Amino acid sequence: MGRRSFGGRRRPPRFRNKKKFSQKGSNIDVQKFVNKAVAVEEQEEYKPQHAFDDFYMDDRLKRNVAAKGYKKPTPIQDQAIPHLLQGKDVVGIANTGTGKTAAFLLPMLHKVMNDKNQKVLILAPTRELALQIEEEFMSFANGLGIHSALCIGGTNMAFQIRKLKRSNNFIIGTPGRIMDLSKRRLIHLDQFKNVIIDEADRMLDMGFINDIRFLLEQLPTKRHTLFFSATVSRQIEDLIRTFLDNPLKISVKVRETAANVHQDVVHIGRNQNRVDILQGLLEGNEFRKVLIFGRTKRGVDKLSRTLYSRGFAVDSIHGDKSQSRRQRALLAFKKHKVQILVATDVAARGLDIDNISHVINYDMPGTHDDYIHRIGRTGRGDKKGIALTFIEEKR
């Protein structure tokens, strides 16, 4: 669906003293929303110590890596893969979008290729992230005769149960659904000698910490355990001490936010309509692929309907939408069939979508961590992105 052009002059966004503004998340210093992007070419390029061909992995696996167009390892891949191939427990500290999925999938696939009795459990905080891991798995495992079962909420359990009855070396899922299937004796956790906890900090944020403890306690004591997280809190440290065996800590997180994300604020005056301001921005040609964050499910739906009524190609995702509808919306956004995706924080956790030109915080984030997560959806890799945060004057 295309966009209509609306008449009238647009008022440019206004920039004022931060002390005049107070909204949800007002405990956050608004000055942190203002940060000019650094020229990408000025960043020091990481020089990997290995090429993919250097890793002691099966040649068929290396061919699948090459078929995906991977030329040289990212920092987390370069530093983690050799140790994971040796069977060491690893804590990887890395942001989303740094290639960590391949960092743990490739060594595990190699292990299974050498021993088809090996089983691998991969836990992710959200359905979307679990699906992205599954997609990566399928491309790396192409033609290898190694299969996975995806176990996530919001989808047909009967279909998942049928898949679990087949021979699967990998199970990828969210904690709640894995716990449910385990309690039904449809997944036998004592068979899994390899486990990966992806985005452990998000697991904590979303209240899954007790589920993770429960699941890890059901696994064999002697196992290969991997934790990946952008931050390591005291509770995550407690999990690491309890469940990992002398782990190697690898940190490739160089800064809190991407250097190439230009951050700014858009001030909404007392007599201005924030939807009108948003429309004026979205009509700009540079707003090619826009992710808009709202605070509530109802607010996300309302904004999506309003933008659609004003002629924009838009869809939305939040926790109350069925998994199939969420996937259709994400696919349409990825394939540029819609220009705008409106989302809640939880629904957008772990999203890895290329070429998002802008992130707009239509509603203020609740915490600074939420802000960092949101704006990290743009400016990925060597591309530049823009993050804008709406700030309203006190009424």
Residue 198 sits in a domain of what CATH number? 3.40.50.300
- Looking at the fold, whether 190 and 59 belong to one and the same domain comes out as yes
Helix or strand or coil: residue 183? Answer: helix
Q: Residue 245 — very low, low, confident or very high, per pLDDT cuts 50/70/90?
A: very high
**Is 94 contained in some domain?**
yes
- Looking at the fold, whether 147 and 102 belong to one and the same domain comes out as yes
Angle of helix 127-140 relative to helix 100-114, nearest 10 degrees?
A: 50
| Token pair recorded at residue 387 | 């993050």
Mean pLDDT of all residues in 307-324: 89
Task: Please identify, among 226, 251, 276, the residue that sits at the C-terminal boundary of a domain.
Answer: 251
Give percent of the chain above pLDDT 70: 85
Mean pLDDT of all residues in 253-260: 62
- Looking at the fold, whether 79 and 173 belong to one and the same domain comes out as yes
Per-residue pLDDT at 138: 97
Contact 110, 57 (CB under 8 A): yes
pTM: 0.69
**Is 245 contained in some domain?**
yes
Mean pLDDT of all residues in 344-354: 74
**Is 13 contained in some domain?**
no
- Looking at the fold, whether 117 and 186 belong to one and the same domain comes out as yes
d(CA 170, CA 172): 6
For 48-90, write each residue's pLDDT tens digit. 899 999 999 999 999 999 999 898 999 999 999 999 999 999 9
Contact 366, 343 (CB under 8 A): no
- Looking at the fold, whether 320 and 359 belong to one and the same domain comes out as yes
| Token pair recorded at residue 128 | 């979307």
| Token pair recorded at residue 32 | 């942190």
Per-residue pLDDT at 16: 40
**Is 1 contained in some domain?**
no
Is pLDDT of 207 > 50? yes
**Is 10 contained in some domain?**
no
d(CA 325, CA 25): 30
- Looking at the fold, whether 132 and 276 belong to one and the same domain comes out as no
Phi-psi region of 311 (alpha: psi -120 to 50; beta: other; left: phi over 0): left
Is pLDDT of 395 > 50? yes
- Alpha helix locations (H) across 184-273? 200-205, 209-218, 234-243
- Looking at the fold, whether 68 and 152 belong to one and the same domain comes out as yes
Task: Please identify, among 251, 270, 302, the residue that sits at the C-terminal boundary of a domain.
Answer: 251
| Parent domain of 297 | 18-41+259-392
The Cβ of residue 378 has, within 10 Å, a number of other Cβ atoms equal to 25
- Looking at the fold, whether 238 and 301 belong to one and the same domain comes out as no
Angle of helix 175-183 relative to helix 157-164, nearest 10 degrees?
A: 70
Per-residue pLDDT at 301: 94
Placement of tokens 């203020």 in the chain: 364
- Looking at the fold, whether 245 and 266 belong to one and the same domain comes out as no
d(CA 370, CA 11): 29
- Looking at the fold, whether 152 and 120 belong to one and the same domain comes out as yes
Measured over the CA atoms of residue 282, residue 288, residue 294 and residue 299, the dihedral's sign is positive
Residue ranges of E strands in 233-376? 248-251, 261-268, 290-293, 314-317, 340-343, 358-361
- Looking at the fold, whether 94 and 192 belong to one and the same domain comes out as yes
- Looking at the fold, whether 283 and 229 belong to one and the same domain comes out as no
Helix or strand or coil: residue 204? Answer: helix
**Is 8 contained in some domain?**
no
**Is 72 contained in some domain?**
yes
Task: Please identify, among 189, 221, 251, the residue that sits at the C-terminal boundary of a domain.
Answer: 251
**Is 12 contained in some domain?**
no
The tally of domains found in the chain comes to 2
